[in-house]
Structure 1
């Protein structure tokens, strides 16, 4: 079981914390922990929070996340910043929501990397950390296990993306459905998972079919079987699916396969083994589809 460690500072925003916490508490296989330099932790919304003063032991499989705080507040002592940097140095993932990116910058994790934050804080972040590349008008940015997101509710998108990366789009889709969250689209940022890019619709028929594809995208899924899941004809399904997502069911399935294969390749798999793991007979189709992206 992986640990998600939230590092809290006074005047933390509740939704910066609660959004990702809800995602990871809904997804299987996570243990949530909270640490702070003092307790109780006052929030900007007036609700005091409990937290541990002692850090748990973390491994490379664990996630460290810094929620944002009210502008003008938020400060971590040097030992906390060192712990944040050390977790990344040991192979762990470090993430932030909103103003939390400033803590990552003070820990030295933004230098030479792409990052983002709340639109109202982007200019300041760029001035404070000139060695970083601040990406504007996106929900989140991933760069070498440093994951930063924009303001407040975008922490949910960030967390769903991390769940999709670690466990596949099917798990992330189930979490999103459980939370009654449909992904928001941002065409300028390809780092969003396909689940987030193509769930921004209200067709329950299409969502049911997407759930089926997400759960078993590496398998052969004949259109007739998907139509049976939806309770409509093959022709009607193709029309509804394309209208809702901009892709046919087959193209959507191929997108999931390519996205998962790219994740595997990025973590050391060969193109051939990644292609077979996601359901392609060999790497040729994978290369062809990647070239179209």
Structure 2
């Protein structure tokens, strides 16, 4: 079972932790189980105080992890004095580096990006954090490529989010990449959260990038495409399921999302194929897995 290991530091914000934990827990209820584990990021700490006053029990010893597992560092209360930010233990920094070097993904919420920076994982990579601590993060880690005022960034298996509720957006993105957009959408509905938020720049998740509208008809069609993007989906069938004419559907879909239904399906296929390629699949195998007859169309789409 895939492990999501939360690295807790003193003053951790409860929502930075609870939002992602709930998202992965909900995925388990939908048939994609995760084992949630909690470890103290500072030495000699078994009970981690939260910013909201609730003490959190955490393991002192790190469990064994594999490249398929996910390490997440929730943020903490930063306060007015940056010198009071918690120091990540040497062992924790090494664990974060080693996990990434072994092919694993590391993520942070809010000020948790500083922990990744202390481990050297932000050097030369795009990252973000809460708007209130962007300047401090940039000063602490001048080699990081800070992206301001976006919900989350991804760069070479280093994923950072803006903070507080945006940790949920980050988690939905990771679930979409791992299991497809339909699973992420179901998790969002289960959590009763708005799954279509988007940042100021182009994000990696197709679902989030093209769901920032309020057209219910188009959302229903997107639900169908999300769930069956690897299959042939004739426009006539989509229009019939939506109860509108083909021309009407194309016009509404393009107005709401900026792309046609076919282009949306291609983007979902391309996103999934890129994930498979990143995990060692050949172009031919990835193309067939996402519904292309051969690799030529996938190569053409990637070249764009």
TM-score (ref. length: structure 1): 0.91
CA gap 1:105/1:244 in 2 versus in 1, 3 angstroms: same
Alpha-carbon shift at residue 104 of structure 1 (Å):
0.9
Does the residue aligned with 1:17 lie in a helix, a strand or coil?
A: helix
Pairing of 1:121-200 with structure 2 (within 5 A): 121-179=133-191, 180-186=193-199, 188-191=201-204, 193-200=205-212
C-alpha contact 1:258 1:286 (8 A) present in aligned 2: yes
Select between 272-281 and 53-62 the one with higher mean Cα deviation: 272-281
CA distance in 2, matches of 1:70, 1:257: 40
- Once residues 33 and 6 of structure 1 are traced to their aligned partners in structure 2, the CA distance between those partners, rounded to angstroms, is 6
Are the equivalent residues in 2 in contact too, given 1:4–1:64 (CA < 8 A)?
yes
Deviations for 1:45-94, whole angstroms, at most 9, x for unmatched residues? 22222322232221111101000001144332222222222222222211
TM-fit CA distance, 1:95 = 0.8
Q: How much has 1:120 moved relative to structure 2? A: 2.2
Aligned mates of 1:50, 1:231 — CA distance in 2: 52
Give the root-mean-square deviation of aligned CA atoms: 2.0
Aligned residues of 1:7 and 1:34 also touching (Cα < 8 A): yes
Give distance in 2, aligned partners of 1:151 and 1:194.
21
The alpha-carbon distance between structure 1 residues 285 and 132, as it changes in their structure 2 partners (threshold 3 A), is same
Among candidates 278, 290, 293, match of residue 278 of structure 1: 290
CA contact (8 A) 1:12 1:74 kept: no
What's the counterpart of residue 113 of structure 2? 101
Q: Secondary structure at the match of 1:53?
A: coil
- 1:31 and 1:168 map into 2 onto residues whose CA distance is 19
Alignment partner, residue 223 of structure 2 = 211
Q: Mark the CA change 1:291 to 1:83 in structure 2 (over 3 Å): closer, same or farther.
A: closer
251-260 or 137-146: which moved more? 137-146
Partner of 1:10: 10
How many residues are treated as equivalent by the alignment? 291
Distance 1:277 1:12 in 2: 41
Aligned residue for 2:39? 35
C-alpha distance in 1, partners of 2:124/2:267? Answer: 30
Unaligned runs of 5+ in 2: 79-83
Distance 2:89 2:203 in 1: 35
Unmatched 5+ stretches in structure 1? none
Conserved 8 A contact 1:174-1:211: no
Cα offset for 1:2? 0.3
Aligned residue for 2:136, secondary structure, equals helix
Shift of 1:187: 5.0
Counterparts of 1:181 and 1:49 in 2: how far apart (Å)?
Answer: 28
| 1:254 to partner: Cα distance | 1.2
162-171 or 132-141, larger mean C-alpha shift: 132-141
Q: Secondary structure at the match of 1:102?
A: helix
> 1-side partners of 2:264 and 2:26: how far apart?
25
Cα offsets for 1:167-222 (capped at 9, x unmatched): 1222112212222322222352332x111111222333322221211111010012
Q: Secondary structure at the match of 2:232?
A: coil
1:52 is aligned to 2:59: yes
**C-alpha displacement of 1:129:** 1.8
**Secondary structure at the counterpart of residue 92 of structure 2:** helix
TM-score normalised over the length of structure 2: 0.88
- What secondary structure sits across from 1:99 in the alignment? helix
Query: Where does 1:58-97 land on structure 2 (aligned, <5 Å)?
Result: 58-71=65-78, 72-97=84-109
Contact 2:39–2:60 (Cα < 8 Å) also in 1: yes
Distance 1:143 1:80 in 2: 21
Task: Note if 1:113 corresponds to 2:120.
Answer: no
